[in-house]
Amino acid sequence: MEHITSIRVRYKETDQMGVVYHGNYFTWFDIGRTDFLRNTMDISNKALEEKGVLLPVIEGHCKYIKPAKYDDEIIIKTELVKLKGVRLEFQYKLFRKEDNILIAEGYTTHAFVDKELTPFNFKKNYKEMWEILQKQVSAV
């Protein structure tokens, strides 16, 4: 299931060429993922951390297609596409709202780990939340 979040490019996110610095796209992925979890599971990253659940990024990729510039409104489309074992993967598509042009796409892979960064069985320990996540997985 796709979740949509909207942001506006801030001046500080641009570089000397007037376009968004490439590292900010991963920040936007994080915004989309955080919003996805909050809206689909009704839980924040902070609440997960309080339960001892961390979701570090273990792999990430971004394909830059068109530049984003200061004050552009960006639509972040986030989908959970894989949920297996201790891993989950999110895909992202970023569009410039003004003309609906795809500006970037990518993914991040995460692991369920505890506070000692040891992978653990989220499905076993948080069955209800796992089932909610399972219902959100998109077929890609």
Query: Rounded mean pLDDT of 24-41?
Result: 94
Q: How many domains does the chain have?
A: 1
**Whether 132 contacts 41, CB under 8 Å:** yes
Query: Rounded mean pLDDT of 26-52?
Result: 91
Q: Quote the domain boundaries for residue 54.
A: 2-136
Model confidence band, residue 138 (pLDDT cutoffs 50, 70, 90): confident
Q: What is the CATH number of the domain that holds 26?
A: 3.10.129.10
| pTM exceeds 0.75 | yes
**Whether 82 contacts 135, CB under 8 Å:** no
